[in-house]
Amino acid sequence: MHVQVINLTRFGDLLQTQPVFSGLKGLGATTSLVCLDTFQGAAALLRDVDGVRPLPGARLLARLDRDWTLAAAELCTWLDSARDDRPDTVLNLTPTLAGRLLGRAFHGRDIQGFGLDDDGFGRYSTPWAVFLQAASTYRGCSPFNLVDLFQRVAGLEPGEFRLRAPGEEAMARAACLLAGAPGVGQVAFQLGASQDYRRWPVEAFVRAGRVLWSRTGRSPVLLGTAGEGHLARRFVELADYPCTDLTGRTDLPTLAAVLSRTDFLLTNDTGTMHLAAGLGVPVAAVFLATAQPFATGPYLEGSLSLEPDLPCHPCSFGEACPHGLACREALDGAAVGELLASFMTGGPTVPDGFPGRVWEARRDDRGYMNLLSLSGHGREDRSLWIAIQRDVYRQFLDQRQDAAAPAWPGGDSDF
């Protein structure tokens, strides 16, 4: 059976579909991926993908700006070439009209995940697909990690998230880039973020790096795109200890190789975070503003997610912050450095008075990725409410009630 997976999302989301391909391969299927050509390089990091069909999204938009008939002709030409290898099943993991239409063009009505009916209304193959659509549209705090949601939409049980190991050439380039890097080892720092208001300040990274250098003898390796070079230059200007600036100097395979040579990654909520998790590199991720670790945290057991301990966090999407982005300053860099130093030497041990919430990624008894509080926040209302949602939603979406009555923390055991 040949399954064609459609995923027209960004770098990080694309990486998070890895367990879907491995799960399908385990069922004996061959798989192909349709992704935007912008992220074709990311597809090379995925295992168990037998073929990739990049969609020329930017070129289609350019044609559309000039003349819609040119865009239609471009799309038809691309579809004709793709139909040469007609799949038995199409699994669309993109809950947009574009993704639904593309799936319909490939395979008529028999679409798994997100499809369209004969009248143009949305069709969903499972209740999990309905939930993922709602979670994507109304960006509240989903109680399930996106990796698990992708797998459940595909009808798969939660599985391992493991990306392709970097090749020899990429490892050789990484070795050259890190040759002469100071210290007994290196830690990777991803300074940038998708939006500036979700970015931990450079000054905080500098303070964390200072503690790590003095406590563990490991120096930071600064990662990011060329467009994030100004953040690295600011870091180098402020740091009174050695570091290595690789911003703008790594393609995706080399980035993966560099990460695999470091002891852990300190990062914002980014695609680099998911790349490190898929490579088995320990991650400590800072979640600010609207970023929510229960939904998009690193899918690697033992990884850490850090949040400011503020009553307004996480905040709602699309609303101006009335507190002057206080969350960006709430997590002290030195305290994070102390936490990570203990993490690397047998911990993690949360320092007394740590100014934030610390979560460790752990699978629950059903195999879904969950977060365990290391900082005493597991009994707060938000944590209890997420636990209840995970229990009730899972039974409802699976359309199967557990034989035993749920024992919710602090609540009634009846539905």
Strand 122-124 to 111-116 pairing: antiparallel
pLDDT beyond 90 at 34:
yes
Closest C-alpha among 173, 181, 144 to residue 363:
144
> How far, in whole angstroms, is CA 158 from its chain's centroid?
16
CA distance 68 to 81: 20
**pLDDT of res. 84:** 65
Strand 356-363 to 369-373 pairing: antiparallel
CA distance 285 to 273: 7
Q: What is the largest CA-CA distance in the chain?
A: 65
Query: Span 307-333, mean pLDDT?
Result: 83
CA distance 274 to 19: 13
- What does residue 144 show for φ and ψ, rounded to 5 degrees? -115, 140
Query: Span 358-379, mean pLDDT?
Result: 94
Q: Which pair of tokens denotes residue 8?
A: 């027209």
pLDDT beyond 60 at 411:
no
Closest C-alpha among 182, 175, 334, 173 to residue 243:
182
Phi-psi region for residue 113, left (φ > 0), alpha (ψ -120 to 50) or beta?
left
Mean pLDDT of the chain: 90
- Three-state DSSP at 390 gives helix
Burial class (CB in 10 A: 0-12, 13-18, 19+), 309: middle
- What does residue 98 show for φ and ψ, rounded to 5 degrees? -60, -45
> Quick check: 107 and 34 in contact, CB under 8 A?
no
Quick one: what percent of the chain has pLDDT higher than 90?
Answer: 66
- For 354-386, letters b (16+ CB in 10 Å) and e give bbbbbbbbeeeeeebbbbeebbebeeeeebeeb
381-398 and 127-137 helices, crossing angle to 10°:
140
Per-residue pLDDT band at 320 (split at 50, 70, 90): confident
Amino acid at 415: F
pLDDT tens string 204-226 = 999 999 999 999 999 999 999 99
**pLDDT of res. 415:** 29
Per-residue pLDDT band at 405 (split at 50, 70, 90): low
CA distance 190 to 283: 11
CA distance 351 to 336: 9
Amino acid at 249: R
Closest C-alpha among 130, 37, 129 to residue 91:
129
pLDDT beyond 50 at 410:
no
Strand 30-36 to 2-6 pairing: parallel
**pLDDT of res. 254:** 96
> Quick check: 53 and 24 in contact, CB under 8 A?
no
In sequence order, the 6+-apart residues with CB closer than 8 A to the CB of 315 are 289, 290, 321, 327
Our separate counts of H helices and E strands in the chain read 17, 14
The residue with tokens 């999302």 is 9
**pLDDT of res. 87:** 83
pLDDT beyond 60 at 194:
yes
Per-residue pLDDT band at 273 (split at 50, 70, 90): very high
- What does residue 122 show for φ and ψ, rounded to 5 degrees? -65, 140
**pLDDT of res. 414:** 36
> Quick check: 307 and 356 in contact, CB under 8 A?
yes
